[in-house]
Amino acid sequence: MNFFSVGEVLGSSLRIWFRNLLPFTVLATLVHLPLFIYTQVGIDLEDLNLTKLALTGSIMAIAQILLGVFLTATIIYGVVMELRGQHASFMASISVGLKRALPALMITFLMFLVFGLIAVVLVAIGGASQSVALVLLFALVAGIIVLRLYCRWYVAVPASVVERPGIMGAFSRSTTLTDGQKASIFGMIFLVAVVSFGINKIVEMQFDSDTPSEILRNWKTQMFAQLVVDAILSPFGAILPAVTYVALRREKEGVVADDLAQVFE
């Protein structure tokens, strides 16, 4: 019997998110507090230009990914408790996140390092031909490979937090659990990404500017608005792989939330 259902995973993730909207948003705000401070206090707009703005945006994107991993490690405990029918305490979630975040960060770093190397190597091979068509073809191939690997390793972080199998063991566990479900996982990720992109685009449109001076003048306000939206939405992005992990464990191994909760006791 197939227990894994995209609809069920999305539905459970939404229910957990709504039931814990306030504490999870507070938790995400605390996790992202360094970015709030950096964008509002640590940047001098008079010394900022469009080049530095692009570099700052890239640094912030990387920081958000790393902070998001810590948030995921923290929220996983709460998700398991919720699926068990219990309410996780705020401090217990933070405690689990602090104890188990480092391997999760290493997993994410290695994952994106592999993605980056694949993209650079394949695009460079295409570029060596000095053909735009081949560059685009190799870029497409790189994108397909990266997406397949991302879906394969989608639950590596939850596996690391719950099972503590080591970094390479987490990749192996995720590969095993997602076998046969990568297409479903991709469809789920794509749907969530489209909705998230639409919400962020709406926020971005509120600060559309035609001149560089206006872009720089509005930058801090726009960053604050986007970080607020991220503090609200990012817990769902952390909940989803955790619920997916639990659903896959139930399907593949017959393990339920009660069994998983025992590892935290």
pLDDT in tens, 102-123: 888 899 889 989 999 998 888 8
Least confident of 106-110, 216-220, 221-225: 216-220
Give me the pLDDT at residue 264, please: 66
Give me the pLDDT at residue 55, please: 67
Both tokens of 94, joined, read 């933070």
Higher pLDDT, 3 or 86: 86
Higher pLDDT, 160 or 87: 160
Give me the pLDDT at residue 80, please: 82
Query: 1 pLDDT exceeds 60?
Result: no
Higher pLDDT, 253 or 39: 253
pLDDT in tens, 179-212: 989 999 999 999 999 998 898 888 877 776 666 5
Cβ contact 214:48 at 8 Å:
no
Write phi, then psi, for 250 (nearest 5 degrees).
Answer: -65, -40
Give the predicted TM-score (pTM) of the model: 0.84
Give me the pLDDT at residue 138, please: 85
Percent of the chain whose predicted confidence (pLDDT) is above 90: 26
Per the prediction, the chain carries an average pLDDT of 82
Both tokens of 222, joined, read 């726009």
Query: 231 pLDDT exceeds 80?
Result: yes
Per-residue pLDDT band at 43 (split at 50, 70, 90): low
Kindly write down the DSSP assignment for every residue of 151-193, as one continuous string: HHTTTHHHHHHHH---HHHHHHHHHHHHTTTHHHHHHHHHHHH
Both tokens of 120, joined, read 């650079």
Per-residue pLDDT band at 57 (split at 50, 70, 90): low
Query: 162 pLDDT exceeds 80?
Result: yes
Per-residue pLDDT band at 50 (split at 50, 70, 90): low
